[in-house]
Amino acid sequence: MKKLIMFLLLVFPTMTFAGNELYVFNFSEYMPDWIITEFHRETRIKIIHASYDSNEAMYAKIRILRGRGYDIVVPSTFYVDRMSKEGLLQPLDKSRILNFKNIDPMLLNKASDPDNNYSVPYLWGTTGLCVNSEKVNPNTVKSWKDLWKPEFKGKVLLIDDIREVFGMGLKVLGYSINDTDPKHIEEAYQKLKLLIPSIRVFTAEMLIQPFLNQDVVIGMNWNGDVFRSGKENPKIRFIPPEEGLMVWVDSMAIPKEAKNIDNAYKFIDFMLRPENAKRLCEETGYSTPNKEAVKLMKPEIQENKTIFPDPAMLQKSEFFSDVGSAVVEYQRYWEKLKTGN
């Protein structure tokens, strides 16, 4: 038997076998070391973690592998929709997820995954405005439109993400961040094109660093990045734009051809324990979908508007959803925008 396994490993070096392992593909900041250590201590299951910095990178790899090679992936809202429709995810047996009951109903049964047949919320967060208050008075920044102010020429950061940037452009024009009308997408491109002279950097990694280095003074940012940076530099401020925040949910899902399915369910349930969800939220600065975890938090965390936006702001904010075939239009104009055409 050992000889057979050795032969298979030599012939098929990427082959994975079900066993006491769990292959997790996740955003790097979403997997603190304690998760790997404590999950192993309790279950004796070894987590092999690989990370990515964008949904596009994750999706491309899972698509190439046709859902093989990983047992847990953590796609954002609209990628759950796309991946489930393409047969890259397997339906969940929620009877095996005892702590599913801890999830806030507000974050369940979204259009991207009705009845959460394919995904379980892991963290959720928002995209809003960010300023270095040492350089910019936060009281003068209220809208996405403020990024176009001439005084910010060469001092703006945009997230290197097609949906985030076009979502912001569409919002400025009064459209939905999930708009599929080609004319509206083109309008957003024309509006964003006017912003090009102001953009110092497009990035999806270490978004806060250009603010700390004072390379930029204003831009887009994720709430968790700003919360974490506030511990070092409280002058970096998160501002919800008056048009509303862009909201996303990053969820645990099991790829179609996952090998360690039992271990995947154990991991999902482990992360849905209130004490674990609380710790993850407080360390990352992103909102937890776990209503029981929130009850365990200190009032200063529960009432922190960077982590948990107030209901009035959420009312006018939008969750990302899949734009279907319109993604072709988004990609076409994104390439034109990035190349300055």
Q: What is the pLDDT of residue 305?
A: 94
pLDDT tens digits along 225-262:
999 888 778 899 999 999 999 999 999 999 999 999 99
CB within 8 A of 125, min separation 6: which ones?
Answer: 222, 223, 224, 247, 248, 250, 286, 287
Closest CA to 119 of 297, 321, 255: 255
CA–CA gap between residue 47 and residue 67 (Å, rounded)? 18
Domain ranges in the chain are 2-123+249-308, 125-247+317-339
CATH 3.40.190.10 fits 125-247+317-339, yes or no: yes
Given a cut of 80, whether residue 288 has pLDDT beyond it is yes
Q: What is the pLDDT of residue 277?
A: 98
Ranking 3-7, 204-208, 312-316 by mean pLDDT, the lowest is 3-7
Given a cut of 60, whether residue 115 has pLDDT beyond it is yes
Closest CA to 156 of 108, 111, 218: 218
Given a cut of 60, whether residue 89 has pLDDT beyond it is yes
| Average confidence (pLDDT) over 221-226 | 94
Tell me if 2-123+249-308 shares its fold with 125-247+317-339: yes
Q: What are phi and psi of 86, to 5 degrees?
A: -90, 5
CA–CA gap between residue 61 and residue 66 (Å, rounded)? 8
CA–CA gap between residue 175 and residue 143 (Å, rounded)? 15
Ranking 4-8, 201-205, 285-289 by mean pLDDT, the lowest is 4-8
Q: Is 5 exposed, middle or buried (0-12, 13-18, 19+ CB in 10 A)?
A: exposed
Query: Average pLDDT of the chain?
Result: 92
CB atoms within 10 A of CB 212: 15
Where on the phi/psi map is residue 154: left (φ > 0), alpha (ψ -120 to 50), or beta? Answer: left
Q: What is the pLDDT of residue 67?
A: 86
Q: What is the pLDDT of residue 51?
A: 94
One of 1.10.3720.10, 3.40.640.10, 3.40.50.1360, 3.40.190.10 is the CATH number of 2-123+249-308, namely: 3.40.190.10
Given a cut of 90, whether residue 139 has pLDDT beyond it is yes
Instruction: Please say whether the beta carbons of 318 and 177 come within 8 A.
Output: yes
Q: What is the pLDDT of residue 61?
A: 95
Q: What is the pLDDT of residue 207?
A: 87
Ranking 68-82, 99-113, 223-237 by mean pLDDT, the lowest is 223-237
Q: What is the pLDDT of residue 5?
A: 39
Amino acid at 336: K
Q: What is the pLDDT of residue 113?
A: 93
Reported as a pLDDT band with limits 50, 70 and 90, residue 3 is: very low
Q: What is the pLDDT of residue 13?
A: 37
| Average confidence (pLDDT) over 293-315 | 95
